[in-house]
Structure 1
Amino acid sequence: MPGWLKDAIFYEIYPQSFKDTNGDGIGDFNGIIEKLDYVKELGCNALWINPCYDSPFKDAGYDVRDYKKVAERYGSNEDLYNLFKIAHEKGIHVLLDLVPGHTSEEHEWFLESKKAERNEFSDRYIWTNGWIEGIAGHPYIGGEADRNGCYMLNFFKCQPALNYGFLKRTEEWQKAPDDPACIATREAMKDVMRFWLDKGCDGFRVDMADSLVKDDDENKSATGAIWKNIREMLDNEYPEAAIISEWSNPKQALKYGFHADFYLDHRGNGYNTLLRDYETDGGDKSFLKKDGHGDIMRFLNDYLPKYDATRKDGYISFITCNHDTPRPRRTLSIDELKIAYAMFLTLPGVPFIYYGDEIGMRYFELPTKEGGYTRTGTRTPMQWSEGKNKGFSTAPSDKLYLPVDPSDDAPTVESQEKDPSSLLNTVKALTKLRHEYKDLQADSEFEIIYAEADEFPFVYKRGDLIVAINPSDKKTSATLPKNTTKVFEIGETEIKDASLHMQPQSFVVLK
């Protein structure tokens, strides 16, 4: 386990939208470098950069055309190597996004695989044996290659699935996961990882990590065997490199070698009930919405079994949001966001802040851009200042990757830095608190003190610290151990006669 993860707070950067330094309306590596001091001052000591590889951008870079070459829009490979170097000088680790399940249809491997003549890459992707033979239960494409066969897709039409084999094989063309062709695919991905790790990358967030072997069993055992093999390589060759999975099943992901696994927003799961429980009839029941009157047990009944089963294997990562999820400002007020982020930054595991969430950037209903569809409104440019294009770019506004928030009250870093009570300064105070107290870091002990259905507050211990959260619009109280003192608070709380009295929308850390 890389030791640096214990105190890591990640900042996710969508590179297209972070900072443009050459005036073309699209963010770039030099823009990230320019803002590394901001990231550090925010209290984040690690980055996750969404895919920045050469790509046709039919899925915003998740359609990789060349794993070892960066997209020209962001700069050169040397610019990215320089980003690693400068980030390290500032004490910031950098993860790249690894997309192991598919490539772009324009990748050299696929162009070779499409050929009628057998070659090194004929089995790099999943093909049937005939032009009229489809793939039951999976999306596929036929009629677009000289090769006599159809090929499987992972997501969009532009993303042919790489061949890691089938666990349950019913057709002659389906290969076993230990077939030499499937092993060659795994080794090719390890080669990509080594390339970037040797250049200064500190690890990878892994896209669709559970989807490699097709028709896998319920436990994803065949896919898990691949990741255990990759983890063995990392432990032997790059012991401080981290891999974090888009799996959202820590009982599987952490057992199979990932250091951390995202707790993603899936309808009805524990994370969803905290701040995005607005997709069912009956209104918004989110626990962290002041008038949601949410039930903390809906979260804990889902989270605690995952935490208890995996706490010795790795970390569960809470996110404020990500590039696939509506920003929390869509439904939460600034005061509600303060309480939400306070909770995420004091729970166990490795937390992630999505760029702009720290100032409360809004979600917009926008036309699709580069395959974003409903996700597009979460990917708008970072709002730095009150000037042109909110400080993101000097390009004409109609040339921007996406439009900036046109509202008169659009939040910006510049305005919030001047306001001691702003969301930005609250986040800075929370990250400072987490770094200062080891009891709040990833692997410190976690124990529930008070949690009852339909009741507030929610109280838990982290090591020797006590954390209490009252996100509701009602006053509430809880019994405390004797001789406790406040370490940090949001809103108004009072300790009196071994009781904690909390005003509406309040949060406190006690020692």
Structure 2
Amino acid sequence: MKKTWWKDSTVYQIYPRSFNDSNGDGIGDINGIIEKLDYLKDLGIDVIWLSPVYKSPNDDNGYDISDYKKIMDEFGTMEDWERLLDEMHQRGLKLIMDLVVNHSSDEHPWFQESRKSKDNPYRDYFIWRPGKDGAEPNNWESCFSGSAWQYDEATGEYYLHLFSKKQPDLNWENPKLREEVYDMMKFWLDKGIDGFRMDVINFISKVPGLPEAHNPSGKTYAWGGDYFMNGPRIHEYMQEMNKEVLSHYDVMTVGEMPGVDTEEAALYTADERDELNMVFQFEHVDLDAGPGGKWDLKPLELKDLKATFTKWQKGLEGKGWNSLYLNNHDQPRMVSRFGNDKEYRVESAKMLATFLHMMQGTPYVYQGEEIGMTNVQFETIEEYQDIETLNMYHEKVIDGGEDPGQVMESIYVKGRDNARTPIQWDDSENAGFTEGTPWLKVNPNYKEINAKQAVEDPVSVYHYYKKLIQLRKENEIIVYGSYDLILEDHPQIYAYTRTLGDEKLVVILNFSGDRPVFEMPEHVAYEAHELLINNYEVDDQEQIQSIELKPYEARVYRLK
């Protein structure tokens, strides 16, 4: 297997609005990130993925870009950003930027021109269609609820927006548009960045003719459509982007791709195809969604988690590369979702980190994850900021008459603001995030859960992450070894081996608050064992043929 720096790396995602505020306006900023670089370097991070910092009206917190070559005023200046890059590179940290080119903002000059007239030179930079029988051009729905079409009176036509109506979709069929995107990518790469995370990049090729969508419910949810995910020209576009731009730089690329399966992911990430290095797939974060989609809650079954991760580990083995994540700016906090954020918060946060960092692939740490931050429960809908959450609440409660209490329960579990509450740096007011009023309320548990406490406590979640990241740097088997599931049918234990040449590791994880017994399968042969990492006190000489595990216990052994 080809060895590269981005396979060996651990990535840390910064959502700048919530990271650290340096000027007291309640909004995290670039200088605030610079203040915390030593903290990240100490953690052992190699790469920082910075969520969008471009000029934006902030309809979707920066994922609606009005100028791809300018920095948002709230975050600072281009000089601040250049200093951030310089300070990172001085510390041996790499920077990957967010590339958001499925859509722009409706305030982008391209769109302002596009809506002026049907023969404007920029008209074809976006996807415009006349209405059909006095209604929208087709029945597609936006990922953020409602129709994916917005009527524009100036020219009497509709434009497509798979997200907010302020996020019109770009028309990738237009070669001029693609050239503009490639020029913009070179602009940032020539400044010295180390790669891109590409927002919903597999949405850029739509099915020609934009046909009516058909599915059993009679509705099309964007996350399930065959009409704009992995479309007919997507691999052509990815290979063109690689040829025109990416191949000229030593960079890391990861594409966010809802609806991708292992076969498709292998096409996107195979070395010889010259497309991308990795994809973010969504299968494991859809396991606790019922037939009604994300907000339709259902309990997570461990057998489903095992089947999904095993499918991806084996499906890309020797063919492509996995990105490993359990939370990000769009997903709830992992310890609240997959662990126990009450009596076993510390233990389950460490167990989940072990689960992820011991797999084959590049691990991603989302800000605050390394101190075990949890979901939040605000009392009223007015305290939430996320457009997806607010649109859903309006559709279900205001328009649909559903029980607000039940809808709030879904928001507590799945809302994107769970991940966006400000980082809890210390136990001072506003968790040390800002001297002003935070743009989104701080989680009230910051007195107990904060980075200052975690750094000072040698057995904290933070120090456990530090050790995991260091182990990965010291043991090639953790990065490159093959993965094999054991105890497939055990309802509470997730265990797997990693193998590289003559080396073997066994990873033992209790996903429950009970005390199940781990029995080593007969086919896993060994004469001696060495404990690499553990989240409870363990006697290193203890026999491991049969182990009664404590709640949310994690152990990793090297077998000899």
- Tell me the TM-score range normalised by the shorter chain: 0.7 to 0.9
Shift of 1:452: 2.8
- Please state whether the residue corresponding to 1:417 is helix, strand or coil: helix
Shift of 1:40: 1.3
Alpha-carbon distance in 1 for matches of 2:229, 2:51: 29
- Please state whether the residue corresponding to 1:150 is helix, strand or coil: strand
Against the structure 1 CA distance between its residues 455 and 377, is the aligned structure 2 distance closer, same or farther, given a 3 Å change threshold?
A: closer
TM-score (norm 1): 0.86
Partner residue, 1:467: 507
Asked if the contact 2:481–2:498 (Cα under 8 Å) also holds between the matched residues in 1, the reply is no
Partner residue, 2:94: 93
Asked if the contact 1:416–1:424 (Cα under 8 Å) also holds between the matched residues in 2, the reply is yes
Shift of 1:312: 3.2
Partner residue, 1:255: 267
Shift of 1:255: 1.3
- Please state whether the residue corresponding to 1:394 is helix, strand or coil: coil
Partner residue, 2:253: 243
Against the structure 1 CA distance between its residues 90 and 314, is the aligned structure 2 distance closer, same or farther, given a 3 Å change threshold?
A: farther
Alignment-mate amino acid for residue 305 of structure 2: F
Shift of 1:410: 3.6
Alpha-carbon distance in 2 for matches of 1:310, 1:6: 14
- Please state whether the residue corresponding to 1:97 is helix, strand or coil: strand
Partner residue, 1:225: 236
Asked if the contact 2:289–2:297 (Cα under 8 Å) also holds between the matched residues in 1, the reply is no
Counting matched residue pairs gives 474
Shift of 1:266: 5.5
Alpha-carbon distance in 2 for matches of 1:451, 1:213: 38
Alpha-carbon distance in 1 for matches of 2:284, 2:543: 42
The answer to which of 129-138 and 88-97 deviates more is 129-138
Alpha-carbon distance in 2 for matches of 1:151, 1:498: 62
Task: Give the structure with the larger helix fraction.
Answer: 2
Against the structure 1 CA distance between its residues 402 and 233, is the aligned structure 2 distance closer, same or farther, given a 3 Å change threshold?
A: same
**Deviations, residues 5-43 of structure 1 (Å, cap 9, x unaligned):** 121111111100111111111111111111111111112
The answer to which of 146-155 and 211-220 deviates more is 211-220
Partner residue, 2:55: 54
Partner residue, 2:385: 369
- Please state whether the residue corresponding to 1:103 is helix, strand or coil: coil
2:419 paired with 1:411: no
Asked if the contact 1:451–1:459 (Cα under 8 Å) also holds between the matched residues in 2, the reply is no
Shift of 1:510: 1.9
- Please state whether the residue corresponding to 2:187 is helix, strand or coil: helix
- Please state whether the residue corresponding to 1:407 is helix, strand or coil: helix
Alpha-carbon distance in 2 for matches of 1:109, 1:217: 22
Which runs of structure 2 are paired with 1:351-390 in the superposition (5 Å)? Answer: 351-366=363-378, 367-369=383-385, 371=387, 373=389, 374-390=415-431
**Deviations, residues 123-169 of structure 1 (Å, cap 9, x unaligned):** 0001124695732133211134x2242211121111111112xxxxx
The answer to which of 260-269 and 462-471 deviates more is 260-269
Partner residue, 1:167: none
Shift of 1:432: 1.4
Alpha-carbon distance in 2 for matches of 1:8, 1:351: 8
2:75 paired with 1:74: yes
Asked if the contact 1:2–1:242 (Cα under 8 Å) also holds between the matched residues in 2, the reply is no
Against the structure 1 CA distance between its residues 487 and 143, is the aligned structure 2 distance closer, same or farther, given a 3 Å change threshold?
A: closer
Against the structure 1 CA distance between its residues 2 and 201, is the aligned structure 2 distance closer, same or farther, given a 3 Å change threshold?
A: farther
Alpha-carbon distance in 2 for matches of 1:304, 1:268: 16
Alpha-carbon distance in 2 for matches of 1:278, 1:370: 14
Partner residue, 2:527: 482
Asked if the contact 1:482–1:498 (Cα under 8 Å) also holds between the matched residues in 2, the reply is no
What 5-or-longer segments of structure 1 have no aligned partner? Answer: 165-176, 287-293
Shift of 1:408: 6.7
Partner residue, 1:326: 332
Partner residue, 1:499: 545
Partner residue, 2:185: 193
**Deviations, residues 42-79 of structure 1 (Å, cap 9, x unaligned):** 12111111111100001101111001111011111121
**Deviations, residues 322-356 of structure 1 (Å, cap 9, x unaligned):** 11111123352221111011111111111111101
- Please state whether the residue corresponding to 2:327 is helix, strand or coil: coil
Shift of 1:448: 3.1
Against the structure 1 CA distance between its residues 326 and 219, is the aligned structure 2 distance closer, same or farther, given a 3 Å change threshold?
A: closer
Which runs of structure 2 are paired with 1:270-285 in the superposition (5 Å)? Answer: 280=297, 284-285=299-300
Asked if the contact 1:65–1:108 (Cα under 8 Å) also holds between the matched residues in 2, the reply is yes
Alpha-carbon distance in 1 for matches of 2:75, 2:41: 22
- Please state whether the residue corresponding to 1:96 is helix, strand or coil: strand
What 5-or-longer segments of structure 2 have no aligned partner? Answer: 141-147, 208-226, 269-274, 390-414
Alpha-carbon distance in 2 for matches of 1:278, 1:22: 36
RMSD between superposed Cα atoms in Å: 2.6
Shift of 1:458: 1.2
Asked if the contact 2:431–2:446 (Cα under 8 Å) also holds between the matched residues in 1, the reply is no
Asked if the contact 1:263–1:319 (Cα under 8 Å) also holds between the matched residues in 2, the reply is no
Against the structure 1 CA distance between its residues 455 and 416, is the aligned structure 2 distance closer, same or farther, given a 3 Å change threshold?
A: closer
Partner residue, 1:134: 136
- Please state whether the residue corresponding to 1:123 is helix, strand or coil: helix
Asked if the contact 1:57–1:370 (Cα under 8 Å) also holds between the matched residues in 2, the reply is no
Alignment-mate amino acid for residue 183 of structure 2: D
Which of the numbers 138, 149, 159 marks the counterpart of 2:167?
159
Alpha-carbon distance in 2 for matches of 1:346, 1:392: 32
Against the structure 1 CA distance between its residues 408 and 259, is the aligned structure 2 distance closer, same or farther, given a 3 Å change threshold?
A: closer
Alpha-carbon distance in 2 for matches of 1:2, 1:135: 48
Asked if the contact 1:135–1:152 (Cα under 8 Å) also holds between the matched residues in 2, the reply is no
Partner residue, 1:346: 358
Asked if the contact 1:445–1:462 (Cα under 8 Å) also holds between the matched residues in 2, the reply is yes
Against the structure 1 CA distance between its residues 209 and 401, is the aligned structure 2 distance closer, same or farther, given a 3 Å change threshold?
A: same
Against the structure 1 CA distance between its residues 459 and 311, is the aligned structure 2 distance closer, same or farther, given a 3 Å change threshold?
A: closer
- Please state whether the residue corresponding to 1:485 is helix, strand or coil: strand
- State percent identity of aligned pairs: 30
- Please state whether the residue corresponding to 2:267 is helix, strand or coil: coil
Alpha-carbon distance in 2 for matches of 1:311, 1:98: 27
- Please state whether the residue corresponding to 2:239 is helix, strand or coil: helix
Alpha-carbon distance in 2 for matches of 1:497, 1:318: 31
Against the structure 1 CA distance between its residues 149 and 434, is the aligned structure 2 distance closer, same or farther, given a 3 Å change threshold?
A: same
Against the structure 1 CA distance between its residues 108 and 313, is the aligned structure 2 distance closer, same or farther, given a 3 Å change threshold?
A: farther
